[in-house]
Amino acid sequence: MATCAPGSGISSGAATTRYPWRTAAISFYALIHLPLADQQALLPRIRAWLRPGGYLLAIVGAREWTGTEHYLGADMFWDHADTSTYLRWLQAAQLHPRWHRYIPEGNSGHTLILAQASGYAHDPQ
């Protein structure tokens, strides 16, 4: 997970880190290696890191799937919800999806989502 402070580049962090408000948070292929309950619980925390109108850009699962596979020399854990579930979780966390795209990878794929934190001038809620 990385967050971007206005004008200062990128700083790295983890789920337990507390941040001052940020303009953006980026999570590529990280959330999907946490259990689903932890993913869902983390979204409101990510919202708290973001200033009103800030963005989350994340790659999440496209189809529901849980498992482990040998990957790059080690057993790796994956836990995916489907795209519609992630969109609901984001909305509930006051991270309003602006768009999402399917990213194909071989016989499967992931979903890239851009969500915006509530509290901006044209907030739909």
Q: Name the DSSP letter for residue 47.
A: H
Confidence at residue 19, expressed as pLDDT on a 0 to 100 scale: 55
Where residue 122 falls among pLDDT bands split at 50, 70, 90?
A: low
pTM of the model: 0.80
Can you list the domains of the chain with their CATH numbers? 2-117 (3.40.50.150)
Q: Provide Rg for the chain, Cα atoms.
A: 15
Where residue 4 falls among pLDDT bands split at 50, 70, 90?
A: very low
Q: Is the pLDDT of residue 79 over 70?
A: yes
pLDDT per residue as tens digits for the range 91-117: 999 999 999 999 999 999 999 999 999
Instruction: Give the orientation angle of helix 36-49 with respect to helix 83-92, to 10 degrees.
Output: 40
Walk across the sheet containing 9-12 and list its strands. 9-12, 2-5, 22-27, 50-61, 108-117, 95-105
Identify the weakest region by mean pLDDT among 6-10, 15-19, 27-31: 6-10
Confidence at residue 8, expressed as pLDDT on a 0 to 100 scale: 42
What does the H/E/C string look like for 66-125?
EEEEEECCEEEEEEECCHHHHHHHHHHCCEEEEEEEEEEECCEEEEEEEEEECCCCCCCC
